[in-house]
Amino acid sequence: MSKPKKVVLAYSGGLDTSIILKWLQEAYGCEVVTFTADLGQGEELEPAREKAEMLGIRPENIFIEDLREEFVRDFVFPMFRANAVYEGLYLLGTSIARPLIAKRLVEIAEETGADAIAHGATGKGNDQVRFELSAYALNPDIKVIAPWREWDLTSRTKLIEWAEAHQVPVPKDKRGEAPFSVDANLLHTSSEGKVLEDPAQEAPDYVYQRTVNPEDAPDAPEYVEIEFERGDAVGINGRRMSPAELLTALNEYGGKHGVGRLDLVEGRYVGMKSRGIYETPGGTILLAAHRGIEQITLDRGAAHLKDELMPRYAELIYNGYWFSPEREMLQAAIDKSQEHVTGTVRVKLYKGSANVVGRSSPLSLYSEQHVTFEDDAGAYDQKDAAGFIKINALRLKLLAMRDRRAR
Amino acid sequence: MSKPKKVVLAYSGGLDTSIILKWLQEAYGCEVVTFTADLGQGEELEPAREKAEMLGIRPENIFIEDLREEFVRDFVFPMFRANAVYEGLYLLGTSIARPLIAKRLVEIAEETGADAIAHGATGKGNDQVRFELSAYALNPDIKVIAPWREWDLTSRTKLIEWAEAHQVPVPKDKRGEAPFSVDANLLHTSSEGKVLEDPAQEAPDYVYQRTVNPEDAPDAPEYVEIEFERGDAVGINGRRMSPAELLTALNEYGGKHGVGRLDLVEGRYVGMKSRGIYETPGGTILLAAHRGIEQITLDRGAAHLKDELMPRYAELIYNGYWFSPEREMLQAAIDKSQEHVTGTVRVKLYKGSANVVGRSSPLSLYSEQHVTFEDDAGAYDQKDAAGFIKINALRLKLLAMRDRRAR
Amino acid sequence: MSKPKKVVLAYSGGLDTSIILKWLQEAYGCEVVTFTADLGQGEELEPAREKAEMLGIRPENIFIEDLREEFVRDFVFPMFRANAVYEGLYLLGTSIARPLIAKRLVEIAEETGADAIAHGATGKGNDQVRFELSAYALNPDIKVIAPWREWDLTSRTKLIEWAEAHQVPVPKDKRGEAPFSVDANLLHTSSEGKVLEDPAQEAPDYVYQRTVNPEDAPDAPEYVEIEFERGDAVGINGRRMSPAELLTALNEYGGKHGVGRLDLVEGRYVGMKSRGIYETPGGTILLAAHRGIEQITLDRGAAHLKDELMPRYAELIYNGYWFSPEREMLQAAIDKSQEHVTGTVRVKLYKGSANVVGRSSPLSLYSEQHVTFEDDAGAYDQKDAAGFIKINALRLKLLAMRDRRAR
Amino acid sequence: MSKPKKVVLAYSGGLDTSIILKWLQEAYGCEVVTFTADLGQGEELEPAREKAEMLGIRPENIFIEDLREEFVRDFVFPMFRANAVYEGLYLLGTSIARPLIAKRLVEIAEETGADAIAHGATGKGNDQVRFELSAYALNPDIKVIAPWREWDLTSRTKLIEWAEAHQVPVPKDKRGEAPFSVDANLLHTSSEGKVLEDPAQEAPDYVYQRTVNPEDAPDAPEYVEIEFERGDAVGINGRRMSPAELLTALNEYGGKHGVGRLDLVEGRYVGMKSRGIYETPGGTILLAAHRGIEQITLDRGAAHLKDELMPRYAELIYNGYWFSPEREMLQAAIDKSQEHVTGTVRVKLYKGSANVVGRSSPLSLYSEQHVTFEDDAGAYDQKDAAGFIKINALRLKLLAMRDRRAR
């Protein structure tokens, strides 16, 4: 890789990416462009501008953007159409944010004439893969700098020393080790590392940042009604909302009732297992509700095919292949299935649970007339079932006859 | 179908199967053998013997059996190795019991020289399919009588009238319509029909029979430790138990804490959608715990393949194909994966939730040394990740270059 | 089912469907509309008109249509985008024609105010299922009459007697039993039954109707170049053609060189196994060529996903689920993958074989620069492969370490 | 990686691995153990011993082994049970040999106290991955040296110069560039590179080494009968043979009739596309025959599941994951399905084609009684099919009714 001249850095304004910023200037002698995005992580962005300026970034090289609507509309919602969960449980909150950040990094590089991008993900995690696969898929010539894979600042002490030696201000509370590492966006907050590294030990309650402990949640259940159109949530309790507004509102409901906590050991794409604590309050409600509306609007054939495709789809997102032909193929299939996934779902929230208790739709496939135990006025001829079974049994009978002969 | 001479009837001792018993004698003039199984449904079996005798069944034709251990060991546990859920949510409590009942019906037919079996499932449901596919797969010559598909007793009134006209005693509380229909065994209780037929309406609390309302569950969480060996649960809180004992114990824990309630609209194999309320207290804990122990003992490749195969496997069980070559193929794959799924999982029960909070295993694949944010003493070379990403990105880069040319 | 008043019959003009025509008039006393389609079966259609008139059908009730272009464009080509083969070998020539015929039957019923359709498929085969599932999916109220499942004309003799007793003219050569049964359209000819019923016996050469015996094919190979655009063939040897023209031309090439013969025992949807002899001359060339162009234009991720989805897709078509949400979902995924499947493939035809020997495309993903054994000017850094392997091996190493401990 | 002390080299005795041998001694100063295996590549092995001795390898460090039976029995046959083909066409001849070589390398390392293995695969291909993943899966501590990824001998000229400078004898005919690169074993011969690098150009006939040009094959077809037991071929034309004998015999049949040539562009695991010419004469016959015997002995449910699992299984082998839990899971499923795959298949060989023309089995599932167009004596009640279709159509009807409402 030839030496980069201008680098767009995914910059949070925190200590680590500030050190990276400085290190890029030092190690590569290159011009740095900072990109700070609001994905709903719940932090002010303007301090990042000040810090970038203080570290010598020219104003025109500082990009600060609110991507919340794009994030939910173009990434979170398409993924929820699939009911995607990784390894049966994880709602992919971190995974789904990375492609969007990479996309903007690449676009800003193209706008500013930068030839490289840089990120603060380590060499042990999935995020490096997600950032870089996305970037290469969008711009095959882009260079990617991942300082954590390059430098020798392998301990907190070395890092702080380097920062102090290079005029990177170190806040007092960042001198010691953080007790765990956090990532957050509008969909979720994840915590991992340090105190969480023993998967046999229950995570201490102070790890959770976004949901109350179910034991401290209200003693009375609360109901929320979510409206869907063509597979996407469009309103809550009768009020239409934009995607990011809606997810924000669901997060409030979920957070209040302790919904969406997950303690998981997962298989990373880079090969080792890792333990994470995830909080996905709104997403957990949304997933339950989406399954609820599908229950009455999605045909069994489509629903089962979706369930079979889902693990692969989730794996692709987890592994960083959002911008890949196979993810797009699966998305096309999934989106095709959502054309009539329209209606309203009632979800009951109570001390950590979000359970569907009712669903209705003008496009419902549920037919009380067919299913009823009562007289169905000829909608269904029970004698047909005899033929159905006989024909389905034929190959099993032929097998049984063969097995008799084989004995 | 030539006229059956001797029929083995799946007999509960209740009104409906008593009517069927009588009807078989009347309509076919055939000898009836009754088979009553304890699958953990929580009812006394001896009254069934008395009723059968009263209806004229000869003592040697009355079969009453406790199948609880066989049920859990040979049906429930193999299914749980797969983490099987149907349509994302249903733990298949009814589905998994049917093949065992059918197996015993066929075996008793062979023992008693009967040429037919009979069951009390209607022509609208899945159970007829499950009974009959299983029976035909085990004995291709067996005849199956499903009175609900044959007779014209299409209303409760007609049924009661027929019973009274044919000396079948009708208990007072059975004269009216039941408000819903119930099936139960050691794994679950299902309720459907009548008051539940509108999927927009929340199920009334009196429907639930086996779990307390989470709101009435204890205010303090409770922990339970489950031990696994080769994919099967073998003990709780340090006490080794047989399969049925263990599931019984988990049912107590779950029932007490309101765990395992499910309100579902599902796609039946016979084509319509149906709404069911399921209570699977012990099974819900077991599923969570099994996923928990797999998290540290199952390789990612095996785990993901399992997740992809699971929906098909669950569909096969739901549809009644337990005794089919394809279910056996999938079982072979699943069982192969479980060889090292051994260890202990800690589950927290609280007001409707069962969450894994810790897992440990002598066979754990989790390597703190590899995953740590701290110095890993060379266990993992972060630079390898750069090559990993580059090579995985190559095809995406080639695509991006092609797409540029195509523009 | 209430008695139908007006029936649209899939009418070939042959003896069997003429008997059905008459039988419908007799058995149901209903008005009959005939529908005769040219799907490329290679028969004149006008004689069907004369026969229908002779059997008393009113001119406005006689529908004769050339559906060849629609057949290839909207059914055959979408299917070939998927490289669909059933049970590894069968190109689905009969299966893919049935939904189109059913669609026109239903549409003509709607145009003519008919309340039923009828077809001449037997109760043992797949075609009844394909016709009827398609019809019900398009018009849930349509009635379907399948005389072979209703009447008692169970032998050839009875059938001929009935025809003669009811003034249906019986051609001399139709009095005896045909030595086998044939279905044909532009995609293929199938033969089954009678002399073919012993799967151990080689099919006699006189069964083949559309391809020369490879032993009699030209002694010199012939090359054909097929152009593709977005997954569909659009030209041969530099000449652009419509879909039906193109398939017709490929059939000539294939027929001449003995390409596309297949002797198969297949699993029918109705449960038994059946032996068929298929001739798919043009389709066999097309399948090879389509795989050839995909080899250089389709990304590995997309290609492998297609290969995994294909058996299900083929099964759906075979089983009659063309008009189903799950087939449409798969089609959406497949079509998405074909956007850049554009280019030219050279196929060598010789005595039964059709082999791709060259492929080129302006959108090729093949990069000589990357693959070359020669100096690649830095396009690919072989050292990256070391990291790629190390990271992919990590989970396998962790397994091996665990297995050591387990011993 | 610490410096290896003793290395087991996969040594063919050819120039390239002789250079590697010398280079290992020079670059690492380590003791070299050579391993030369007969996998049926058709070369004498003893010359490899002489060359190794000449290059200073001690006699006890020279391992020469005939692995043909193990190769076919434990690798080729299990793979053929799956009908495995990669990307629709490739029979995986190279892929399946690599795990066995790696296994023996690791075992010999353990026997001789070596701490590393070395191979002659380049950094651009799949074979490095297959060797190394297998090795790491079997011994997580083994070191692997891949000189082609390390040294700077990037051109033929440099290689020859290095050889001459280090006393590695260079045969005259090896001075120039080979026109293409070859790999061979009992299952296949592959050729790639150089003259084959333009995928638009037909491969010149001199590339083929193991099969006659179909145009030069006998003018008369030849029949071969293959017997199977539990999924594996065990005899030809009535003569029982060991696995390697049998494959050798089939290779002769295939080679003589020009069977098994394949011109393919495939997607490599390392990301680029590559063009290969494969000759798999016996394997091509075996695949056809295996599908033939499965046609009558394998149930449709099992067969379709196998077809759906196959692409993944083939991909795993292609990518080098033979020794992985997921391959073993799939193998367990596949092997389970083969229990009754027993019988005889007749294959017709003629000028490049191998077509099944007959199959018979004592365990056949084919029932002439069920399939016959003639009177079936009540084996099958055609009226059952009506119910079968009605029930299968129900969900499609409900969809159609919904779609009407939605309009």
- CA C301 to chain CA centroid, nearest Å: 27
Contact B138 A273 (CB under 8 A): no
- CA D130 to chain CA centroid, nearest Å: 12
Contact B301 D325 (CB under 8 A): yes
**D336 reaches A (C-beta below 8 A):** no
Write the single-letter amino acid at B292: G
Query: Which of C325, C345, C283, C332 has the alpha carbon at shortest distance from C305?
Result: C332
Q: How high is the pLDDT of residue C173?
A: 80
CA distances A310 to A304, B365, C338, C402, Å, are: 10, 25, 22, 30
Output the six-digit token pair for C134: 């398609």
CA distances C357 to A119, C225, C234, D268, Å, are: 46, 10, 19, 20
Cβ C385 vs Cβ B384: under 8 Å = no
**A324 reaches B (C-beta below 8 A):** yes
In sign, the C-alpha dihedral spanning A87, A89, A95, A100 is positive
Burial call D37-54: b when 16+ CB within 10 Å, e when fewer: bbbbbeeeeeebbebbee
| Residues linked to residue B84 through DSSP beta bridges, in sequence order | none
More confident residue, D176 or D262: D262
The chain D residue lying nearest A394, using CA atoms, is D380
Is B12 annotated to bind a ligand? Reply is yes
Q: How far is C402 from chain B (nearest CA, A)?
A: 6
**C267 reaches A (C-beta below 8 A):** yes
Is B17 annotated to bind a ligand? Reply is yes
**A2, pLDDT greater than 90:** no
Cβ A59 vs Cβ A50: under 8 Å = no
Of D364, D384, D403, the CB nearest to A390: D384
| Residues linked to residue D192 through DSSP beta bridges, in sequence order | D181, D276
Close Cβ partners of A189 (under 8 Å, ≥ 6 residues apart): A93, A182, A183, A209, A210, A278, A279
Q: What is the per-residue pLDDT across A249-261, written as a single tens digit (0 to 9) for each?
A: 999 999 999 999 9
Cβ D320 vs Cβ D134: under 8 Å = yes
Phi, psi (degrees; rounded to nearest 5) at A130: -65, -45
**B243, pLDDT greater than 70:** yes
Indicate the angle between helix axes A325-337 and C300-319, nearest 10 degrees: 30
Question: Could you tell me how many residues make up chain C?
Answer: 407
Q: What is the per-residue pLDDT across D119-157, written as a single tens digit (0 to 9) for each?
A: 999 999 999 999 999 999 999 999 999 999 999 998 888
Close Cβ partners of A100 (under 8 Å, ≥ 6 residues apart): A37, A39, A67, A70, A71, A74, A75
End-to-end alpha-carbon separation of chain D, Å?
68
Per DSSP bridges, beta strands B261-267 and B273-279 are: antiparallel
Contact B396 A136 (CB under 8 A): yes
Phi, psi (degrees; rounded to nearest 5) at B138: -95, -30
**B88 reaches C (C-beta below 8 A):** no
Helix (H, G, I), strand (E, B) or coil at C18: helix
**B1, pLDDT greater than 70:** no
Query: Which of B93, B309, B87 has the alpha carbon at shortest distance from B188?
Result: B93
Residues of chain C with pLDDT under 70: 1, 373
The DSSP H or E segment spanning A159 is: helix A156-165
**C111 reaches A (C-beta below 8 A):** no
Query: What mean pLDDT is reported for chain D?
Result: 95
Query: Which of D120, D125, D116 has the alpha carbon at shortest distance from D275?
Result: D125
Question: Which CATH architecture is the domain B181-298+340-360 placed in?
Answer: Alpha-Beta Complex (3.90)
Helix (H, G, I), strand (E, B) or coil at D64: strand
The proportion of chain A whose per-residue pLDDT surpasses 70, expressed as a percent, equals 100
Close Cβ partners of C260 (under 8 Å, ≥ 6 residues apart): C91, C188, C211, C254, C278, C279, C280, C281, C282, C283, C284, C285, C354
Q: How high is the pLDDT of residue A155?
A: 83
Helices (H), B63-203: 68-71, 77-81, 98-112, 127-138, 147-150, 156-165
Q: Distance between CA A283 and CA A287 in Å, rounded?
A: 6
Q: Distance between CA D38 and CA D43 in Å, rounded?
A: 8
Where are chain B's structural domains?
A: 6-68+93-174, 181-298+340-360, 368-406
Q: Distance between CA A226 and CA A230 in Å, rounded?
A: 13
Per DSSP bridges, beta strands D6-10 and A143-145 are: unpaired
Helix (H, G, I), strand (E, B) or coil at C136: helix
Question: Counting Cβ atoms within 10 Å, is residue C197 exposed (0-12), middle (13-18) or buried (19+)?
Answer: middle
Q: Can D205 be counted among the known catalytic residues?
A: no
Contact A272 C333 (CB under 8 A): no
Locate tokens 């997403």: which residue? A283
Question: Counting Cβ atoms within 10 Å, is residue D374 exposed (0-12), middle (13-18) or buried (19+)?
Answer: middle
Q: Distance between CA A244 and CA B60 in Å, rounded?
A: 70
Contact D305 B392 (CB under 8 A): no
Of D370, D386, D394, the CB nearest to A387: D386
**A1 reaches C (C-beta below 8 A):** no
Cβ B280 vs Cβ B93: under 8 Å = yes
Q: Which of B88-102, B262-276, C167-181, C310-324 has the lowest mean pLDDT?
A: C167-181
Locate tokens 């809180």: which residue? B237
Is B121 annotated to bind a ligand? Reply is no
Confidence label for A370 from pLDDT (cuts 50, 70 and 90): confident
Q: How high is the pLDDT of residue C119?
A: 98
Q: Would residue D234 be called left, alpha or beta, if left means φ above 0 and alpha means ψ between -120 and 50 degrees? A: alpha
CB contacts of C394 in chain A (<8 Å) are 270-272
Phi, psi (degrees; rounded to nearest 5) at B24: -65, -45
Is C13 annotated to bind a ligand? Reply is yes
Confidence label for B406 from pLDDT (cuts 50, 70 and 90): confident
Contact B197 A275 (CB under 8 A): no
Q: Can C375 be counted among the known catalytic residues?
A: no
Cβ D76 vs Cβ D287: under 8 Å = no
**Complex ipTM value:** 0.96
DSSP code of C90? B
Per DSSP bridges, beta strands D273-279 and D261-267 are: antiparallel
DSSP percent split of chain D into helix, strand, coil, nearest 5: 45, 20, 35
DSSP percent split of chain B into helix, strand, coil, nearest 5: 45, 20, 35
Q: Would residue B259 be called left, alpha or beta, if left means φ above 0 and alpha means ψ between -120 and 50 degrees? A: beta
Of D299, D332, D393, the CB nearest to B332: D332
Contact B271 D392 (CB under 8 A): yes
Question: Counting Cβ atoms within 10 Å, is residue A26 exposed (0-12), middle (13-18) or buried (19+)?
Answer: exposed
Output the six-digit token pair for B313: 């496997």
Is C266 annotated to bind a ligand? Reply is yes
Write the single-letter amino acid at C166: H
What strands, in cross-sheet order, belong to the sheet with A189-192? A181-184, A189-192, A273-279, A261-267
CB contacts of D380 in chain A (<8 Å) are 394
Output the six-digit token pair for B237: 């809180």
Q: How high is the pLDDT of residue A311?
A: 98
DSSP code of B8? E
Q: Distance between CA C288 and CA C352 in Å, rounded?
A: 13
Q: How high is the pLDDT of residue C1?
A: 61
The proportion of chain D whose per-residue pLDDT surpasses 90, expressed as a percent, equals 90
| Residues linked to residue A358 through DSSP beta bridges, in sequence order | A346
Query: Which of A243, A272, A300 has the alpha carbon at shortest distance from A80?
Result: A243
DSSP code of B56? T
Query: Which of C136, C149, C168, C145 has the alpha carbon at shortest distance from C13?
Result: C168
Q: Which of B172-181, C147-156, C337-346, D260-269 has the lowest mean pLDDT?
A: B172-181
Q: How high is the pLDDT of residue A1?
A: 61
Q: D6-68+93-174: CATH homologous superfamily?
A: HUPs (3.40.50.620)
Q: What is the per-residue pLDDT across D3-45, written as a single tens digit (0 to 9) for each?
A: 899 999 999 999 999 999 999 999 999 999 999 999 999 988 9
Is A220 annotated to bind a ligand? Reply is no
Phi, psi (degrees; rounded to nearest 5) at C389: -70, -45
Locate tokens 């949530």: which residue? A233
CB contacts of B340 in chain C (<8 Å) are 402-403, 406
Torsion of CA B398, B400, B401, B403, to 10 degrees: 120
Please identify which of the residues C38, C127, C183, C232 carries the catalytic annotation: C127
Q: How high is the pLDDT of residue D1?
A: 61
Q: Distance between CA B126 and CA B268 in Å, rounded?
A: 6
DSSP of B66-90, one letter per residue? E-HHHHIIIIIHHHHHTT--BTTTB
Locate tokens 């039954």: which residue? C193
| Average pLDDT value for residue range D195-219 | 96
**B379, pLDDT greater than 90:** no
Cβ D71 vs Cβ D185: under 8 Å = yes
Output the six-digit token pair for C172: 């001399």
Phi, psi (degrees; rounded to nearest 5) at B30: -110, 160
Contact A398 C336 (CB under 8 A): no
The DSSP H or E segment spanning C145 is: strand C143-145
